[in-house]
């Protein structure tokens, strides 16, 4: 390499859809500060909070936070649900990739402070090893789940078993966890095939939908164990169980080939 050539430091961008997360958003952003202070020599970080027309002070709390990394807050004029948050996230990813050639990963995680950003460095290394989607998984050896009811744990495990049996994606056990890092390559493929919206399912099943779409487009998927901390989450769960189950079964039935995209 010539001395005049500049080596670009790796960059990652995370989009975090939030609805009524005023109690959780600053503690979550503080965890990003902790991770960035430890690894800022290894990668640059941008976090985009997507406020989904919250009725509380989510926007104000996020906007007033003084982060060590680049922080941006965008706001939906009306509530679009998680589906809208995912679609906005992938539009952000596409724009960031186009303007920043150093981006190696585009991430999503929950805005309720139950997902730890401390997993990010290991996720980056997994992505750099050749994966297109890296999932922080509840079902890998070493994973821990704290503060989640047995009913919800059984529900998640049951759905994972159904998908593993009837819609197997190599390297995946946790189909519904939203804590993921996507490669620029798979983001480009998704947006080329689906330039408007990458998901349509109007429930938390949209997380399974985007994963299945990535697999159809040839994504190499892998997992790392996560620590899910629902004991740190303040406020009530926003997941409608019945709608989520029915949405997942719909995806299982309809999304089979690239022609379905």
CATH of domain 10-256: 3.90.550.10
Q: What is the mean pLDDT of residues 165-170?
A: 86
Angle at 136 between CA 130 and CA 137, to 5 degrees: 115
Determine the pLDDT at residue 139: 92
Determine the pLDDT at residue 166: 78
**More confident call, 241 vs 45:** 45
Determine the pLDDT at residue 164: 79
Mean pLDDT of the chain: 88
Determine the pLDDT at residue 203: 72
CA atoms within 13 A on the CB side of 234: 10
CA-based R_g, the chain, Å: 18
Strands (E), 80-230: 103-108, 133-137, 144-146, 180-182, 221-225, 227-229
φ/ψ of residue 134, rounded to 5: -115, 125
- CB of 114 closer than 8 Å to CB of 232: yes
Distance CA 44, CA 70 (A): 9
The residues, ordered by sequence, that sit 6+ positions from 37 with a Cβ below 8 Å of its Cβ are 68
For the entire predicted model, the pTM comes to 0.88
Give the least confident one: 43-57, 74-88, 93-107, 219-233.
219-233
Angle at 35 between CA 32 and CA 36, to 5 degrees: 85
Tokens (6 digits) for 187: 């983001």
Residue 5 has pLDDT above 50, yes or no: no
């Amino acid at each position: 390499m010539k001395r005049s050539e500049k080596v670009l430091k790796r960059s990652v961008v995370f989009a975090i859809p939030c609805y009524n997360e005023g109690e959780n958003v600053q503690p979550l952003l503080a965890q990003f500060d902790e991770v960035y202070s430890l690894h800022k020599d290894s990668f640059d970080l941008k976090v985009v909070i997507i406020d989904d027309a919250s009725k509380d002070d989510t926007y104000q709390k996020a906007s007033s936070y003084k982060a060590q990394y680049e922080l941006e807050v965008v706001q939906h004029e009306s509530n679009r649900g998680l589906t809208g948050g995912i679609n906005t996230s992938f539009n952000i990813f596409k724009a960031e990739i186009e303007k920043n050639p150093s981006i190696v990963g585009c991430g999503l995680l929950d805005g309720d402070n139950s997902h730890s950003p401390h997993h990010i460095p290991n996720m980056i290394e997994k992505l750099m090893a050749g994966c297109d989607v890296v999932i922080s998984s509840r079902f890998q050896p070493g994973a821990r789940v704290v503060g989640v009811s047995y009913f919800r744990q059984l529900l998640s495990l049951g759905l994972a078993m159904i998908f593993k049996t009837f819609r197997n994606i190599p390297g995946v056990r946790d189909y519904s966890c939203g804590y993921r890092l996507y490669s620029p390559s798979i983001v480009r493929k998704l947006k080329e095939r689906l330039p408007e919206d990458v998901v349509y399912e109007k429930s938390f099943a949209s997380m399974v939908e985007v994963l299945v779409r990535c697999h159809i487009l040839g994504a190499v998927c892998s997992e790392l164990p996560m620590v899910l901390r629902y004991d740190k989450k303040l406020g009530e769960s926003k997941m409608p169980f019945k709608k989520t189950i029915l949405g997942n079964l719909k995806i299982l039935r309809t999304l089979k080939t690239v022609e379905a995209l």
